[in-house]
Structure 1
Amino acid sequence: MKLLMVFDFDHTVVDDNSDTWVIRSLPGQKLPDSVKSTYRKGCWTEFMGRVMNYIGEQNVSLDRVRGVMETIPFTAGMKDLLKFISAHDNTDCVVISDSNTIFIDWILNASGLRAAVDQVFTNPATVNESGYMEVQHHHSHDCERCPVNLCKRKVLELYLSDQLKRGVEYQQIFYVGDGGNDLCPTSCLRGCDVVMPRKGYTLEKLLTRQGRQQEDVSLRAKVVAWSTGTEILEELKKSLQS
């Protein structure tokens, strides 16, 4: 029996949005209105494809982009938390994010923390023949609550199913996130599990609202809000000692 830590990435592991942080690689550090105006609600991945295309058209090298991405700050206490997880064989760790594979790998590798994460589930990114970065949907799904490119509940359920086939069963799951797209996966957590929303962010507000309205019959997990990785680490240590 093991523990599983599930992390969102933007505004959770790192203390900003990796997709908007990349704009700092541009000479003027901002997008023109001609690009910003192309965003459509629910189609962020397609929008990021146009952003990366524009960055490439401005002759910004991938080395420059990588250098900028490697400066994104980690959330306070998160590095220590990931180092602790990495040192404990009975704790698995996955990231489920609406960022992309290249950004997350760059950031984790630069910090020396890539080995702390067993698997990353996010939108696949590649470099095309022109040297520009392209981003694709992680998968397709039929969940009406989630963005068209990613349902984190589906990802988590498939991961747990695959692990069970390998003989790995989790005694407890910690789900750590901040955003609206982190609400859906909380519905597949059990009473022994813990959902940890970041204080002051969308996920905490949604969970609080549902608790007041007593509509969330699907949420069985314990809710523990956090501000720093240190607080998450304290909760994890309590479970490991119990």
Structure 2
Amino acid sequence: MTILVVLDFDHTVVDDNSDTWVLKCLPGQTLPDCLKNSYRKGHWTEHMGRVMSYIGDQGISPERVRGVMETIPLTSGMAELLTFISKNKSTIDCIVISDSNSIFIDWILKATGLQEAVDLVFTNPAWFNESGFMEVECYHSHDCDKCPVNLCKRRVLELYVSDQTESGTPYERVIYVGDGGNDLCPTSFLRERDVVMPRKGYTLEKLLAKLKTQEGDPSVGAEVIVWSSGSDILQALKTRM
């Protein structure tokens, strides 16, 4: 039997937001107000498409963007966690489900040398067009009214676990690690033997605490363990192996 570790990326694997970190490649490290104000709630991926077009318009090369993205720091203890996972691949599967994009995550994981710990990444696909500008599109379409239009993490997790079970890898336990509001929906998929780990002081912890106060709320059946560093996650993982 195998344990599945599910990791968010921004403010989880890395200790910042990769989509805002990329602004460090701009001379003033900020966007013009007209572009900042173009964001519509739930449509972040569309906004990032415009941001990356603007960065390209400023003559900033993909190499410069990559160099900046590779400097984003890992969250404390995350390197140790990923190293442990990579050494125990016979009993631990690890996936990333993120609202970032495929290029940023690929660059960052390769820069850390820890990419072998992650089996699959589910995120918004990105590529460089003929002009050298990075484009980003939504991961999928869905009918969940709780999630951003581009990504329902519960839907991704459900399909992945179902596919793995059908192919002969049923998971004894799922450990879901995240921080944000878009990490709440997938927690309703988890069972009593599973674990949801919200980052201390972040939105997911507050949302789960609010649900807990609603007596009889059945939406989160998993054990809740708050984390502050990758060391906390590693300890929780080791004790459940």
- Which interval holds the TM-score relative to the shorter structure? over 0.9
Counterpart amino acid of residue 72 in structure 1: I
Counterpart amino acid of residue 184 in structure 2: L
Q: Given the two structures, how large is their TM-score scaled by the length of structure 2?
A: 0.98
Structure 1 vs Structure 2: percent identity of aligned residues? 67
Look up the match of 2:131: 130
- Deviation string 1:89-140 (CA, Å, 9 cap, x unpaired) is 2100000000000000000000001111000000000111111000000001
Look up the match of 1:157: 158
Distance 2:27 2:102 in 1: 24
Look up the match of 1:146: 147
C-alpha displacement of 1:27: 1.2
Look up the match of 1:63: 63
Distance 1:105 1:232 in 2: 22
Look up the match of 1:185: 186
Distance 2:170 2:107 in 1: 30
Look up the match of 1:214: 215
Q: How does 1:47-62 map to 2 (within 5 A)?
A: 47-62=47-62
Distance 1:6 1:166 in 2: 19
Q: 1:183 to 1:199 in 2, by over 3 A?
A: same
Task: Tell me the secondary structure at the aligned position of residue 240 of structure 2.
Answer: helix
Q: 1:215 to 1:128 in 2, by over 3 A?
A: farther
2:228 aligned with 1:237: no
| Structure 2 residues without counterparts, runs of 5 or longer | none
Distance 1:221 1:114 in 2: 28
Look up the match of 1:106: 107
- Deviation string 1:121-170 (CA, Å, 9 cap, x unpaired) is 00000111111000000001000000000000000000001101110011
Distance 1:147 1:228 in 2: 27
Instruction: Give the root-mean-square deviation of aligned CA atoms.
Output: 0.7
C-alpha displacement of 1:216: 2.9
Higher deviation after alignment, 223-232 or 28-37: 28-37
Counterpart amino acid of residue 112 in structure 1: G
Look up the match of 1:79: 79
Distance 2:91 2:16 in 1: 30
Counterpart amino acid of residue 80 in structure 1: E
Counterpart amino acid of residue 16 in structure 1: D
- Deviation string 1:65-97 (CA, Å, 9 cap, x unpaired) is 000000000000001000000100210000000
Q: Given the two structures, how large is their TM-score scaled by the length of structure 1?
A: 0.98
Task: Tell me the secondary structure at the aligned position of residue 139 of structure 1.
Answer: coil
Task: Tell me the secondary structure at the aligned position of residue 174 of structure 1.
Answer: strand
Distance 1:18 1:215 in 2: 37
Counterpart amino acid of residue 213 in structure 2: R
C-alpha displacement of 1:215: 5.5
How many residues of Structure 1 are paired with residues of Structure 2 in the alignment? 240
Counterpart amino acid of residue 201 in structure 1: Y
2:12 aligned with 1:8: no
Distance 1:27 1:165 in 2: 51
Look up the match of 1:199: 200
